Amino acid sequence: MASPYPILPEKLLLISLKMYFTPDRTLTYLRDLLNPTNEIVHPQNRDKLLLALIPDFLTIWPCAQILKEYESHLTTTGISPSPSPFLLGAQDCFWEPQGAYTGEVSPASIRSLGCSIVELGHAERRAIFNETDDQTARKAAATCAQHMVPLVCVGEVTAPGPVASQAVGQAVSECAVLVRAVLAAIPADAPVIFAYEPVWAIGQPKPAGVDHVAAVVEGIRAVIGARPGAARVLYGGSAGPGLWGAGGLGKAVDGMFLGRFAHEIEGVRKVVREVEETLAV
Ligand SMILES: O=C(CO)COP(=O)(O)O
């Protein structure tokens, strides 16, 4: 029987708009991402590279309409829109599908509007809204129950000290707590994405160093171990153009989770190009 979950290719580029854009800007941005003349989404690469946009809750519905129009246009040009070459995600969800939870957003509603990914446990939600590992794990289970993919953010709070190996060990042990909690909460065959986002590298001029990221991601992969469902580990935290290619993160991670450096279409195009150059032919 075919898996009810979205299929994850080897590489992923995900963009979260956090709360930066107005609704109008989000919709213009999505149209630009999907516009074939901008050469950002290449449906023929879907089995190797997948892009996704995670807008705010208010714009999920109009974004889904734009994506539907894009997919039907693909059909008219003879390209199969299934599996879709572009996915939509939400920035959070509640752990119950419905009920008396004023202000919360149901994962079932998110799914019904056309999302395939739910971002969970971002450092900002943990620091500002006191979200706990247990809550994030429950949300991950609720996300999988709707056959969406949890995108779980993990990362150490403190910047590395002078001893690199100690910094890596500390980072892996901080990340491992949430990785284990999420894996224990979701079905073994459910795909899951972990975004390694060192808290100290978010919102900065530059990302974390490549060696540090590569070593921590190796440790996170060891914690994940072998499982029937796909598991991808991305890097996020001031990620942008110039980070992927030669001597960069391309060999260490399964993709990137982009924030501010994807706000201009040109930045996304550059990152896509760098990743495409490293895809196996
Ligand atoms: O938190 C991030 C993505 O979720 C990263 O944001 P920045 O790239 O803006 O640092």
Q: Is residue 62 part of a domain?
A: yes
- Give the N- to C-terminal CA distance of the chain in Å, as an integer: 29
Measured in Å, residue 80 CA sits from the centre of ligand 1 at 32
Using one digit for the tens of pLDDT, what is the confidence trace for 17-72?
999 999 999 999 999 999 999 999 999 999 999 999 999 999 999 999 999 999 99
**Ligand 1 atom with least separation from CA of 260:** 9
Q: Is residue 132 part of a domain?
A: yes
Neighbours of 136 (CB within 10 A): 24
pLDDT average, residue stretch 253-278: 98
pLDDT average, residue stretch 117-122: 98
Query: Which region among 42-46, 121-125, 139-143, 201-205 has the lowest average model confidence (pLDDT)?
Result: 42-46
Q: Is the pLDDT of residue 196 over 90?
A: yes
pLDDT average, residue stretch 199-211: 97
What CATH number did the domain enclosing 140 receive?
A: 3.20.20.70
ipTM over 0.95: yes
Q: Is the pLDDT of residue 96 over 80?
A: yes
Q: What are the E-state strand segments in the chain?
A: 11-16, 49-54, 86-90, 117-120, 149-154, 192-196, 231-236, 255-258
Q: Is residue 168 part of a domain?
A: yes
Q: Is residue 173 part of a domain?
A: yes
Q: Is residue 2 part of a domain?
A: no
Using one digit for the tens of pLDDT, what is the confidence trace for 143-189?
999 999 999 999 999 999 889 999 999 999 999 999 999 999 999 99
Q: Is residue 6 part of a domain?
A: no
Containing structural domain, residue 146 = 11-277
Neighbours of 95 (CB within 10 A): 21
Q: Is residue 139 part of a domain?
A: yes
- Please give the share of the chain, as a percent, with pLDDT higher than 70: 99
Q: Is the pLDDT of residue 1 over 70?
A: no
Which pLDDT value is given to residue 184?
98
**Ligand 1 atom with least separation from CA of 204:** 10
Q: Is the pLDDT of residue 218 over 70?
A: yes
Q: Is the CB of 238 under 6 A from ligand 1?
A: yes
pTM: predicted TM-score of the whole model, two decimal places: 0.97
Cis omega before residue 83 (within 30°)?
Answer: yes
Q: Is the pLDDT of residue 131 over 70?
A: yes
Measured in Å, residue 175 CA sits from the centre of ligand 1 at 17
What the block records as the tokens of 162 is: 């002078």
Which pLDDT value is given to residue 281?
64
Query: How many distinct structural domains can be found in the chain?
Result: 1
- Please give the share of the chain, as a percent, with pLDDT higher than 90: 94
Measured in Å, residue 204 CA sits from the centre of ligand 1 at 9
Q: Ligand 1: which of 260, 263, 268 to mutate, most ligand atoms within 8 Å of CB?
A: 260
Q: Is the CB of 236 under 6 A from ligand 1?
A: yes
Q: Is the pLDDT of residue 238 over 80?
A: yes
**Residue 19 to residues 5, 23, 58, 146, 178: CA-CA distances in angstroms?**
28, 10, 10, 25, 24
